[in-house]
């Protein structure tokens, strides 16, 4: 990113902070506060308006925060609530299963982990929090795909010899029927995982809780048992964030 682009981002952030502090503000006042020409302030406001982050108030020449800010704040709050409310359950699951437990949400076409707790048997120190993982090659991603939280990618990339690249073979109908999904060395050789859906207050699937571990320990035969534990944990997390059957 060029210095000019960074400066524009800094100024755009400054505009949002001014509007949050002062409410509806005239373009001339914003330009003065930023020490820029009025045309520059107009250009920045235009970009923010296009993204729904600011909007023109009823009074001509004044701008205020837009509903896009509320949408972003709501999404951030929801993720923070989910991370906080799931932490205790994840700790318990990690102890019971002995493996690493993650919470993943849908973001920009990927499954993104927002919480991770390592179990007592976990041997890998890899931190998955914040990482974008391919939906078709992860257990959490398959859950999010099956219940409509993520769209199916046009092309399914291969990561190992076991990665499923044919959409018809992903088994999403079975995921919906059984209430859990699994992967066996589909993202990394030697890594298996299983996940169950977490539901929001309206009943829609908004996240997945997963357990992952080495294939010699988290064997295919063990996956249904672990899936049952995860399903119970997912139901508890769902209830904590407002879902009731």
Residue 130 lies in a domain: yes
In this structure, the answer to whether residues 194 and 147 fall within a common structural domain is: yes
In this structure, the answer to whether residues 149 and 61 fall within a common structural domain is: no
Last residue of a domain, one of 65, 88, 115: 65
In this structure, the answer to whether residues 85 and 55 fall within a common structural domain is: no
Count of domains forming the chain: 2
Q: What is the DSSP letter of 129?
A: B
User: What's phi and psi for 29, nearest 5 deg?
Assistant: -70, -40
Q: Which residue from 140, 123, 122 is spatially nearest to 131, judged by alpha carbons? A: 140
In this structure, the answer to whether residues 219 and 102 fall within a common structural domain is: yes
pLDDT at 219: 96
Residue 198 lies in a domain: yes
Structural domain containing residue 180:
79-240
Question: CA dihedral defined by 40, 42, 44, 46, rounded to 10 degrees?
Answer: -150
pLDDT at 75: 54
The whole-angstrom separation of Cα 164 and Cα 4 is 44
pLDDT at 3: 60
pLDDT at 20: 85
Convert 199-237 to b/e letters by CB count within 10 Å (16 or more is b).
Answer: bbeeeebbbbbbbbbebeebeeeebeebbebbbebbbbb
Tell me the pLDDT of the chain (245 aa) as tens digits.
456 567 788 888 898 889 888 888 988 899 899 999 989 988 998 889 888 888 887 667 788 888 777 666 555 555 557 878 788 999 999 999 999 999 999 988 999 998 889 888 766 556 767 788 999 999 999 999 999 999 999 899 999 999 999 999 999 999 999 999 999 999 999 999 999 999 987 889 999 999 999 999 999 999 999 999 999 999 999 988 776 55
């Amino acid at each position: 990113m060029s210095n000019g682009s960074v400066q524009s981002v800094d100024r755009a952030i400054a505009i949002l902070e001014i509007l949050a502090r002062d409410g509806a503000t005239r373009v001339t006042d914003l330009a003065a506060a930023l020490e820029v020409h009025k045309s520059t302030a107009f250009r920045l406001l235009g970009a923010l308006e296009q993204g729904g982050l600011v909007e023109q108030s009823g009074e001509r020449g004044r701008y205020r925060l837009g509903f896009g800010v509320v949408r972003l704040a709501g999404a951030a709050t929801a993720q923070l609530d989910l991370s906080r409310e799931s932490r205790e359950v994840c700790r318990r699951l990690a102890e019971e299963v002995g493996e690493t437990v993650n919470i993943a949400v849908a973001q920009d076409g990927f499954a993104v982990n927002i919480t991770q707790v390592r179990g007592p048997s976990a041997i890998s120190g890899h931190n998955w929090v914040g990482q974008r993982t391919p939906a078709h090659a992860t257990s959490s991603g398959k859950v999010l795909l099956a219940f409509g939280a993520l769209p199916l990618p046009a092309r399914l990339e291969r990561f190992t010899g076991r990665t499923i690249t044919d959409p018809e073979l992903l088994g999403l109908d079975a995921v919906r029927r059984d209430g859990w999904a699994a992967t066996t060395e589909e993202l990394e050789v030697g890594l298996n995982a299983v996940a169950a859906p977490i539901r929001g207050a309206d009943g829609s699937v908004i996240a997945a809780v997963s357990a992952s571990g080495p294939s010699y320990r988290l064997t295919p035969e063990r996956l249904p048992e672990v899936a049952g534990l995860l399903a119970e944990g997912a139901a508890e997390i769902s209830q904590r964030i407002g879902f009731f059957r």
